[in-house]
Chains A and B, each alone.
Chain A
Amino acid sequence: MHATVTAILVASRGAEHLQRTLDAVRAQTRAPDAVVVLGMDADDATSALLAAARPTRLLAATQRMPFGKAIATAERSLPPVAGEDEWLWLLAQDTAPEPEALERLMATVEVSPSVAIAGPKLVDWQDGAFIRELGLAMTPAGASVPLVEDELDQAQHDGVSDVLSVPSAGMLVRRAVFDELGGFDPGLPVVDDGLDLGVRARLAGHRVALVPRARVAMAGDGVSGPARSNRWSVRRRLYRAGRAAQLHRRMVYAPRFALVFHWLSLVPLAILRSIGWLLGKQPAAIGGELAAAFATAFGAGHIGEARRRLARTKCVGWAAIAPLRIPHTEVRRSRALKREASLVRQRGERRELNFFSGGGAWVVVGMAVLNVALFAPLLGSATIGGGGLLPLTGDIGSLWAGLGYGWRDIGIGFVGAADPFAAVLAVLGSTTFWQPSFVLVLLWFTALPLAALGAWFFATRITHRAGLRATFAIVWALAPMLFAALQSGRPAPVLVHLLLPWLFFAGSAARRSWAASATAALLAAAVLACAPSLALALLVLWILWLAFSGRSVMRVIGIPIPALALFIPLVVQQVARGDWLAVLADPGSPVASGGSKPWQLALGIPDATLAGWSAVADALGLPHLGATLLVPVLLAPIAVLALLALFLRGTIRATLSLVVAFVGYLTAVVATVLVLAGSGQTPVGVWPGSALSLYWFGVSAAATMGMVALGRFAIAPAWIAVVALAAAVGPLAIGVPVGTSAVRAGAPSMVPAYVQAAAAQDPRVATLRIEPQPGGGIAAELVHGDGQTLDQQSTLISTQRDLTADQRDLARLAGNLASTSGLDESALLKRFGISFVLLAPADEAAGTDASLATERRATSALDGNALFAQVGSGASGVLWTVTRPVSSVPVPPTAGAPLRLIVLVAQAAVMLFALLLSIPTGRGERGSLRRPTAAELAAGAAGETRGRTGRASRTAAGHSTTRSVPSTTPDVLSAASPPREPDGTAGARLEQVEDVPLEPQPATGGKAADDGE
């Protein structure tokens, strides 16, 4: 009997592809006997085209359906099955067969009666030289694997015939078998419908054949199979569909006894795989992974129905199809190939930085030596103090316990959100877990080399010239605001200065790499935690960055998330207080700063001391005007170079750098007018130094670019800039040896040794610390245990707008204790659990008449108070003990519950997410979800045509090297011309060319270089 073919063409809104498809069907050398056309939710243009094609039967559906359902609908409209030789040819609007396609398919099935399904070679719509899909198979574990995907067609696969299955598009299927199998599985609407049908046909004893010579062009409109698009949402949906299909098939194909185990494993497996996706830098897949698992586990599904359908027709065992599965080794190999191809497309980020050979190590070592020399008097001390430096909590357990939300043990104590800075301190303190406070000493002794290290690495993004990289690193390490922060004992701005280059280093790669993006996110969170005043500046830069990031916007858009997670509890609390500005207050112990004028800020100096030159002028009896003129002159070379960069090559890069500087400068100016916190009587403004770090970063980056553009004339300006800068910061830098620094060896204990001994017995022992203020008032503070720590500080209390009833009572107690008073203080002492009263000395040199008078007044009053007995006096003040013992007040046991747990878990989850994503997983990214475009394939193929002798000869990780020119650095272009030297002498030039561990070798220079090796 003569075989009949009914072509079923499913179309939706796709007029641009449909015409070619219709024409192609009409042009078949073996024309189908009937053409049934189904328009689903078709627009007018599509309907018109369909009608004009004059099909045998024209069907219309009002809504879109999955391909399988559409085919079933169309098939039902046909007359009943007449015989074995009735075939269905399944087409979609975007599958244009070549004229001989049907003829060749039929030729295959007519000679092999056991074949029930035959599939063509699906090629690219525009360029038929590329195979999009060719056959489908499964791994032994059941994951679907395309036999061939996105490859250049060199007839290398034309020998394949028997396969496990073929894609649904262009499939030729025996109608009787199709009916017997019950059509496509409705549980597989998008992905794997063809695979499943093929598997069931095989299990029913039929064969599935591949006909590579029959070629069908495919556009990927999404009518049959998934839509082919590189849009994020589409790719995410596709991943979800693929995973859901795989899980569905797993539940369908599994033997009955294993069902429970498979079901139980669905969600845990999804979570494990999500972590894998994070490590694999594909966070986009996680949503789909979890959604698919939950949908399969708890969704309605069609699993039961599908299992029955399978069981009905199954007549051979699974062992029968085992040879057609793809072994795992083969899967791994093809994955590795894909990864490499993906790396080729990413233009290869691997670049040797030459940290050791390029002088970076020497700069760091030099800065380390300078650092140790400048802070030599602090050597050997286990703790440092002074300024804003306080010790950290003694054990890392409580260091971490203070994060999130809960009891803040500062002053009387209250329940509130922790400063995000506490998280930074917890991480920092854990590095010296045996004594967390020691990390501050370490920080002070490594600040310069660490700053230079970060800056050097960032400089690799600006220039390849070792000298200029070193210049940038030195200019960054000798920055005036870094020394100002070190000398005034401000750990947070020091950290900002160390982290900023890394933030920009990671940030500049964030568009290309998830690991860099997550690292930038974590660094941004740390920088903001140290200096919340930078929030606006970083927000502006982030928005600019978003605007320029184009297609990789997703990698940039998530960067603020960890910072938000850290700040949300604090922001909510401050906003509830009606004081959102207070979020910007500096964390840590509040330290007042001398108001700097805006023109002084422009020099990068955050206080009014002119980097110590005012004091030098005083000491030498020089006029102040001299110092005022000298410092700008010394810092001028950097500014001149920065502005010069605008006039020279690389204007755009320089402009971007100067925009960073501009934003930093404005933030610094704003910081000087924000006085948000208070310490005793003294209002404490936001320190402009952190913003100046940002400013300095922009200026010195622009100056470096200026030097890059100057080419070989850059050496003299670089030397002048560095030497002048060193001279300018000299007086500030030597603050510790000459004793002008606030930082000194040994943490000043807030309470005397006597109280410390008592605190060893009872950590909650309370001391009322009274400190005379310059205006004659007193600051009264409750100190629990052996004194305050840096991690317990809270901006919630330093920026407080209203006093609590407890604080008013404490004030009343302190005021009466410092006066001749008729108050019986014992009730208040008992309520606060106060065992000691400490009168801190008003420094004779710095104290005012009023503070000295207040000190005498308080001394006299406390001496005359029968409730107290003087214990003694020391450096921390005069101590009285309460004669009648008072029991201390414990921390409320349920402080902060249940919010504390919620905040902790949420913050931990976000941080873990970012951390996992930020871990660089060895050999770059795994094959991306994104499929290459034809143009990208063509670009890759240009290289692949060489050396492709066969699959077996390839190695997974290519060892041959490619010499290509980094496109981002114009100054390298001249130096990177292909080396002409026969051997050896090429080395000097090769240093400036990146090494990419890729297999293909597109560049002509590569050959010569290989010879040289």
Chain B
Amino acid sequence: MANRRALARGGARIAAGVIGVAVAAATIGAATLLPLPSVERTPLSVQVRPVPADQQRVCPGGLLELGADASASSISAFAAPQRVDGSVGGAVDGAVSRRGLKPVGVVAGAADAAPAVIDVAPSAAGAAPQIAGAQSQTAAREVLAGLAAASCTEANADSWLVGGATTLGQTSLVLLSNPSAVQATVDLSVYSESGILTAPGAQGIVVDPGTQRIVPLAGIAPNAQAPVVHVESAGGTVAASLQQSLVRGIKPSGVDVVGPTAQPARQQLISGMIVSDIAAAQSAGGSEGSSSAMPAVRVLAPGRTAAKVTVSVVPENGKQVGTTTSATVPAGTVQELPLDKLVDGAYTVSVNSDQPIVVAARTTDIRRTGEDFGWFAASPRLADSILVPVAPGPAAALHLANPGAHEVTVHVPSDSGAGPSTAVTVPAGGGTSVALGSPGRTVVLHGTAGLVASVGLVGVQGIASYPLAPAGPQAQQITVYPR
């Protein structure tokens, strides 16, 4: 009797145990493997479209020439650049008010060579106006030859100029334009291949309202092969740009105006890097032992941590396979990563890093008529619509890069503006280009959200490019999570 009861109890225990183990396994298994329904509340937000304000851009002005006599620190602007500007959505379509800035220390100048400020006021309806401008200039002087182009940029408290050099034959000038009504005090921090450079003259540069100050980079960073300039202003804001020119021996070998590149970020995109006549560059590099003619990406990690950088270069025609280069860039020093094995064509360069970085790319075009180089700055992603200024120059082409996962179609209006527009498809992860036709006009593009764009000019005069910044980046819609 007792035996049977003990047996029954033992059986019950084993049953309980087996059931327990089974329930445990089934519960954990089911919870892990079965799709669970979920209740997910997205945080509340408001899309705030800022009240439109005046839009203002500053165009850097004509190319500057250091005094031909070696003694002079005199700087002269020998000719006015060709300029284009326009606006949409303002009080009156296309109504742009223009005024010049007074360049300080420029002894002689051609009329209209001064930097220009273009302005548009918002319409009464409250729509945000767009304004855009660009300039280009071809030089054929003793010390200055080549094609230079730049877009007119917004004055800012903080900008990065990636470009320039102060080695033998190189001349680099930092141009600081203050379009605001208050005095700006500018601090320049120059990074180079050997780290950050400190120079007394770089701090506290006063830029009076309505003027442009020109600071030769050689005074701050002599003999720097690969400088990057960080411009910070307090008080008023400044539009910064950098003019670089090269003389090999006695032969002027190119000039360019470098606009601000995109702010430090972990992903940087350069659209429309143009490589032309790569074979000539390779032979020139081989004969003169200079690698400065080879396409390269200049990278700086301004933070405190070294950046692991991956550069991928994707050709725009989509037929060739892109190349990928990896490198580690020590914190605070500039590195130029050469881009090998490229053939002629236009490329989309994307630089990914684990730390915020600033980048720009440079290529050189060596022709029988002369040599010119061009800087290709990184630019931020565009908003849905953009106003493209087509600077006068040879074969202006719009380069579009699509970092997104889906292809994007953009409609480019025809030459006259009346005919059918051209549909341009930008493949996901790649880029494309489209000729912009007759220069000296502005073109409105729609459907450009998420793309990165630049305008490239290449011809017998030389090579130049300027990035397209999103329309009024400071005035774009912003998501606010109030509490």
Question: A interface vs B, CB < 8 Å?
Answer: 410-411, 581, 597-599, 601-602, 643-644, 646-649, 651, 655, 658, 662, 665-666, 669, 672-683, 773, 775-782, 797, 799-803, 807-808, 810-812, 814-816, 818-823, 844-845, 848-849, 852-854, 856-857, 859-861, 863-864
Contacts and interface: CB of A to CB of B under 8 A. Distances in A.
Contacts of B480: 777-780, 811-812, 814-815
Contacts of A658: 20, 24
26 contacts: A598-B28, A599-B32, A602-B28, A643-B20, A646-B20, A662-B23, A665-B28, A669-B36, A777-B45, A802-B44, A808-B46, A814-B48, A815-B50, A818-B478, A822-B50, A822-B54, A844-B303, A844-B304, A844-B356, A853-B380, A859-B157, A859-B158, A860-B157, A860-B237, A860-B474, A864-B237
Q: Which 9 interchain pairs have the tightest Cβ spacing?
A: A815-B48, A678-B43, A777-B479, A849-B265, A598-B31, A819-B50, A647-B17, A673-B38, A820-B474
B482 A808 contact: yes
Nearest to A779: B481
Interface string B208-237: 000000000000000000000000001001
Given A776-B478, A822-B122, 17 more contacts: A581-B39, A598-B32, A601-B31, A646-B21, A662-B27, A665-B31, A679-B43, A681-B43, A778-B479, A780-B481, A801-B44, A811-B45, A811-B48, A812-B48, A819-B50, A845-B305, A864-B180
A598 B33 CA distance: 9
A678 B28 contact: no
A853 B263 contact: yes
B452 to A, nearest CB: 13
Given A665-B27, A823-B50, A857-B474, A807 B158 contact: no
Nearest to B54: A822
B483 A779 contact: yes
B475 interface: yes
Contacts of B20: 643, 646, 655, 658
B13 interface: yes
Nearest to A581: B39
B289 interface: no
A452 B31 CA distance: 31
A860 B482 contact: no
B267 interface: yes
B322 to A, nearest CB: 22
Contacts of A410: 483
B356 A599 contact: no
Contacts of A823: 50-51
A775 B19 CA distance: 49
Contacts of A845: 305
Contacts of B158: 856, 859-860
A819 B128 CA distance: 12
Contacts of B39: 581, 673-676
B32 to A, nearest CB: 4
Contact of B476 (A662, A676, A819): A819
Nearest to B12: A651
Contacts of A822: 50-54, 122
Interface in B327-375: 356
B481 A773 contact: yes
B42 interface: yes
A646 B380 contact: no
Which of B19, B24, B48 neighbours the largest number of chain A CB atoms within 10 Å of its CB? B48
Contacts of A821: 50-53, 475
B41 interface: yes
Chain B, interface SS category: mixed
B483 A781 contact: yes
A864 B157 contact: yes
Contacts of B417: none
Nearest to A806: B482
B121 to A, nearest CB: 9
Contacts of A666: 27
Given A844-B303, A848-B266, A678 B41 contact: yes
Contacts of B303: 844
Interface string B145-170: 00000000000111000000000000
B473 interface: yes
B478 A780 contact: no
Nearest to A597: B32
A378 B32 CA distance: 38
A807 B50 contact: no
A849 B380 CA distance: 10
B41 A675 contact: yes
Nearest to A815: B48
A410 B38 CA distance: 29
B351 to A, nearest CB: 12
B7 interface: no
B200 interface: no
B472 interface: yes
B51 to A, nearest CB: 4
B16 interface: yes
Contacts of B69: none
Contacts of A819: 48, 50, 474-476, 478
A444 B374 CA distance: 61
B37 interface: yes
A772 B295 CA distance: 36
Contacts of A859: 157-158
B304 to A, nearest CB: 8
B180 to A, nearest CB: 8
B14 interface: yes
Given A778-B480, A807-B482, A673 B51 contact: no
A816 B482 contact: no
B40 interface: yes
B264 interface: yes
B89 to A, nearest CB: 13
Nearest to B473: A857
Which of B38, B45, B49, B380 neighbours the largest number of chain A CB atoms within 10 Å of its CB? B45
A822 B475 CA distance: 10
A844 B267 CA distance: 14
Contact of A811 (B37, B46, B180, B476): B46
A634 B168 CA distance: 66
A318 B304 CA distance: 99
Contacts of A598: 28, 31-32, 36
A681 B51 contact: no
Nearest to B48: A815
A739 to B, nearest CB: 16
B118 to A, nearest CB: 16
B483 A797 contact: yes
Contact of B44 (A674, A678, A861, A864): A678
Contacts of B12: 651
A649 B10 CA distance: 9
B478 A682 contact: no
Given A597-B32, A816-B50, A776 B479 contact: yes
Contacts of A683: 40-43
B157 A863 contact: yes
Contacts of A597: 32
A687 to B, nearest CB: 15
Nearest to A666: B27
Nearest to B154: A820
A602 B17 CA distance: 18
Contact of A677 (B41, B53, B263): B41
B482 A780 contact: yes
Contacts of A854: 478
Given A678-B41, A849-B356, A856 B263 contact: yes
Contacts of A816: 48, 50-51
A879 to B, nearest CB: 15
A614 to B, nearest CB: 18
Which of A682, A812, A864 neighbours the largest number of chain B CB atoms within 10 Å of its CB? A864
A672 B303 CA distance: 37
A442 to B, nearest CB: 30
Given A680-B43, A803-B482, A863-B157, A647 B27 contact: no
Nearest to B52: A822
